[in-house]
Structure 1
Amino acid sequence: MTEKRVAIVTGGTRGMGHAMSVALAKAGYIVNAVYHSNQESALKTEKELQEIQPECQVICGDVSSQKAAEAIVAQVTDKWGRVDVLVNNAGIFDFCYIEDMTEEYLDRILGINFKSQFFMVKAVIPWMKKNKYGRIVNASSISGHFADCGLVGYGASKAAVDMLTKIGAGELGPYGITVNAYAPGIIHTDMTHAMITERGDEQVQDLCLQRFGTPEDAAALVSFLVSDAAGYITGEIIGVDGGMFKVQNAYLAYKRAETE
């Protein structure tokens, strides 16, 4: 059994997950980055992580399956004898209007965005309870509390994550386990590139910081939430959104600033 802290990052080889895996490896964690299908990206990530922390590895698995989630945790704990950190980053983003939504679509988006997080949380609980320590960080979204046309499936899945986070914080607090969530606004990744290309000029006007986020912005928050410095923070859904929708007409402040 290793004395180093062991982390699992789902969706950990691309976009925000890749940045989170790298950040945690640099912080000294043994990172187990989970991927589903993109082997090329996974191998590149594994090489990068092992150059930072040789014990790091990538694991292939479909976290939307309870059996697969349990197998991933078993693979990690069989090797290291512990799991200290779970970052539930895996997810999909997709538009679909209510009248166009099929049962299969709804099952898929809820399965990947919510059920996968539930299954992974459930699988790590016994190990974290055993050590009286744990850090769980879930992927929420600004869409979990700001409604957007075409995102009823996505928004509902993230609202469910928020409830999992809050109730998880209550149920697991007695065992020294914190449960929080990061709620990105628009982070520029492969998943959001098409949306930014299509309507980014309009959307950026709603941000106090007038720029879209980077994967590293999200990784910085997650790195803090899993650290000892965040030991008294739990049950929180924390935005990493550049101040999106915090104030109307944020762009007007920039027009004023241009004159000063």
Structure 2
Amino acid sequence: MSEQRVAIITGGTRGMGKSMSLALAERGDIVIAVYRSDGKSAAQVKGELKKLSPKSDVIQGDVSKKADVERIVGTVGERFGRIDILVNNAGIFDFAFLEDMTEDDLDRYLSINFKSQFLMTQAAAPYMKKHQYGRIVNASSISATIADVGLVGYGCSKAAVNMFTKIMSAELAPYGITVNAYAPGIIHTDMTDGMIRERGDEQVKQIALKRFGTGEEAAALVAFLASPEAGYVTGEIIGVDGGFFKVQNPYRAHEYASTGK
């Protein structure tokens, strides 16, 4: 493609989303990073983006609301005439046992973690179909396939993302649009900082690489999936988790290696 690619990244001004926004802008894409409420962080990221890709920008909106989604996508589409990349990164995470969850809690998980991806994909797909090209990358999680107590809302919302990704990969394939998902393990961001401080010492024992991931490492995978080079990859949910729960007791390998063998 001779023209610059236009990317929308939801939740694109903090945590992993910020790393993704900067990674795509650095390679020359026009990045529109969507944020919901943290204006201070958004202003900072806007400045960083424009240094890398001058046409990039930030836009405020709640992507779990249809009216906001239509405004965001419509604004980007009108400004640039195309939308080539959509990264559905926005999400929330917290622990809550069944008895402690309210109906509003469940609705919030499903709306922000899954419904937002449905709405953004539905709104952006016509622009991609028009140009017979598109890259959609959704935020899944290891919790979509590995059950964990206290994560019924989060885990179920991410399981829905996996099925959505697979179905969309088939529905949109005739138009040159690929749809994939990245499934992070424990990536150290402000969203996971509390959990890591609370029980990180135990969790790291189940990670083959014996460390938590970084936003930049997640962004590297997303950047590939959102590139022309990933044109024959679709319908995949790809882990970026350091080998979390790939085998029982991976810490024993580190103990053995420490003996010098």
> TM-score by structure 2 length?
0.98
CA distance in 2, matches of 1:115, 1:94: 18
For 2:52, the equivalent position in structure 1 comes to: 52
Provide the secondary structure at the position in 2 that maps to 1:19: helix
For 1:20, the equivalent position in structure 2 comes to: 20
CA distance in 1, matches of 2:125, 2:13: 24
Residue by residue over 1:157-189, the C-alpha shift from the partner in whole angstroms, topping out at 9 and shown as x without a partner, is 000000110000010000000000000000000
For 2:135, the equivalent position in structure 1 comes to: 135
Alignment of 1:122-161 (within 5 A): 122-161=122-161
For 1:184, the equivalent position in structure 2 comes to: 184
Amino acid at match of 1:176: G
Alignment of 1:1-260 (within 5 A): 3-260=3-260
Provide the secondary structure at the position in 1 that maps to 2:194: helix
Provide the secondary structure at the position in 1 that maps to 2:31: strand
Provide the secondary structure at the position in 1 that maps to 2:187: coil
Residue by residue over 1:188-226, the C-alpha shift from the partner in whole angstroms, topping out at 9 and shown as x without a partner, is 000000000000000000001000000001000000001
Deviation (angstroms), 1:61: 0.3
CA distance in 1, matches of 2:63, 2:228: 27
Amino acid at match of 1:164: F
Deviation (angstroms), 1:3: 2.5
Provide the secondary structure at the position in 1 that maps to 2:208: coil
CA distance in 1, matches of 2:245, 2:70: 38
* Segments of 4+ moved more than 6 angstroms: none
RMSD after superposition: 0.8
Stretches of structure 1 lacking an aligned partner (at least 5 in a row): none
Stretches of structure 2 lacking an aligned partner (at least 5 in a row): none
Identity, in percent, stands at 65
CA distance in 1, matches of 2:24, 2:86: 11
CA distance in 2, matches of 1:178, 1:93: 27
Amino acid at match of 2:92: I
Amino acid at match of 1:185: G
Provide the secondary structure at the position in 2 that maps to 1:181: strand
> TM-score by structure 1 length?
0.99
**Number of residue pairs aligned between Structure 1 and Structure 2:** 259
Deviation (angstroms), 1:228: 1.3
CA distance in 2, matches of 1:56, 1:127: 18
